[in-house]
Amino acid sequence: MSVPELKAWRAARPHVERFARAVRPWLVRALETVRPWLVRAVEAVRRSLVQALGAVRPWFARLTTVQFTAGAALLGLALAATVVTAAGPWDSSGQRTAERDFAASREVAGGADHGTGSGPGSGTAPKAPRPAPSAPSVLAGLGGTTGSVSAPAEKALGDVLGPLLDDSSLGSERTAAVVDVATGKQLYGRAADEALTPASTTKIATAVAALSAAGADHRIATRTALEPGTKELVLVGGGDPTLTAREEANGNASLRTLADKTADALKARKLDAVTLSYDTTLYDGPALHPIGPDNANLAPVTALMTDEGRLDDSSSGPADRSRDPAADAARQFAALLNDRGIKTKSPGPSKATGRAETLAKVESPPLSALVERMLTNSDNDIAEALARQTALASGEQASFEGASAAIRTQLKKLELPLEGVKFADGSGLDRADRLTANLLTALLAKAAAPDHPELRPALTGLPVAGFTGTLRNRYTDQPGTGVVRAKTGTLTGVHALAGTVVDSEGRLLAFAFLTSSDHPTDPATTQKALDGAASALANCGCGA
């Protein structure tokens, strides 16, 4: 028997499917967040039901099929409501209403959920400016819906951007490019093939290369191995800078979990004392970046570290760093083993042999998540780790030099414009890096291409103007708020901004602005000028 599709459902179906696609990524993250709580809650409910089953068994047996189905449906709805409540309210486009209202209020404390505020239900402050619920959703057009929307006219776009990029606050050199993501056509160019120091916009190239080489699902393992016929236990680094020794792992690989598994494996072998060594030989070349020692922006680049070598409780931004993250991680692991009844001698460097038996391992979040975290927070430690993962996947040495060569190789395979381009590191901290506006916009367009879904985290990780990461405190009172997604780049005398924007007619554009000056400009003024140019794209009704 076939049931005809109702007319009302046929009309509503495209909207429901569009909504489902929009909210799915957020629901997945929400489920991951509430999963431990749900497991505990379900277990508690299960125990209660078992205890109560004896009392309700006679009544339960008399339930009809309809009654049983209705009860199950109500339980399912209650569970779904719990998950949605934990994740936060959504509007019809799949955007969290808390995020939309935050863009308007600007007075709410931030965080992963952008604050809850004091307004009735939405978090909007009483005196906040009006929100912009009609603003196009970020990344609109990736589903191929822009066919009926005209691309901006090149002359009209030039008339808008030209005066803004002539602003003297941008310094002595500036290059720019704007590309229609749907077609790949360049709509605006200003010395777009001239290579300048890109600062942290280099991370876009690192992201695309790493995703292309290793894959979005790749995870970085940290393991312990026991040398045969000995009591030598080796802690083997795999290059995961997010490995954490903290009590709350927050989704990262946990050194404590590795200690639990290793202690259990040792006790199963009747061992309660070992000689602990640590292996960092996966990486080659110098560990110290050319920016030098004691730099708060980057720890020594090593295959073994915990919490990015940070000496405080921070998880992003500048912080004092360990001078020897690998040795510190080994000492932390020794202490954790001791707490679990395994005695160790003071750890020293070594190399696990091919005969060593792996006892336990923990794995990082998938590469897609690391890419997003790197881009959102402009995380230099993750950037350099991803550059080395690119080298390993490409058959190059895992060093600054090998990683730079691997990034270039991967981008060449993707047929991206590399003339005049130079990679010196993965983070953009090295002033020897050179990128063009053409390459940056091509990277963004490639990441949006339907035939390269594995590259999509290079877009979804970009900070959202006014909401997340390095753009959270920018775009005050500018129309790009909530609509621009972009990677920032800042060094002394260097300012860059590259990302995507949905214009007022619903077209998704990729843009890149690079500036440089021998006489450093005022950072706040220069950044505001770049933000203004991106906002002009968001506000541009420049269709042909």
200 a catalytic residue: yes
How buried is residue 268: exposed, middle or buried, by Cβ count under 10 Å (0-12/13-18/19+)?
exposed
120-128, long-range: CB < 8 A, 24+ apart: 121/89, 122/89, 122/97, 122/98, 123/97, 123/98, 128/101, 128/104
203 is catalytic: yes
Q: Which of 436, 435, 532 is nearest to 484 (CA)?
A: 532
CB hemisphere CA count around 166 (13 angstroms): 6
Backbone angles phi, psi at 445, to 5 degrees: -65, -40
Q: What is the 3-state secondary structure (H, E, C) of 254-295?
A: EHHHHHHHHHHHHHHCCCCEEEEEEECCCCCCCCCCCCCCCC
Closest CA to 525 of 501, 497, 495, 500: 495
**Catalytic-labelled residue, pool 200, 277, 368, 404:** 200
Residues 6+ apart with CB under 8 A from 523: 490, 495
DSSP-derived letter for residue 366 is P
Residue of 378, 399, 427, 535 with catalytic role: 378
The 10 Å Cβ neighbour count of residue 513 is 29
134 classed as catalytic: no
Alpha carbons 176 and 193: distance in angstroms, whole number: 9
Q: Which residues contact 403 (CB under 8 A, 6 or more apart)?
A: 384, 387, 388, 390, 391, 396, 425, 426
Identify the active-site residue in 105, 203, 446, 487: 203
- Match 């965080």 to its residue by tokens: 111
Q: Which residues contact 385 (CB under 8 A, 6 or more apart)?
A: 220, 239, 240, 241, 301, 370
Residue pair 518/460 in contact by the 8 Å Cβ criterion: no
Q: Which residues are catalytic?
A: 200, 203, 378
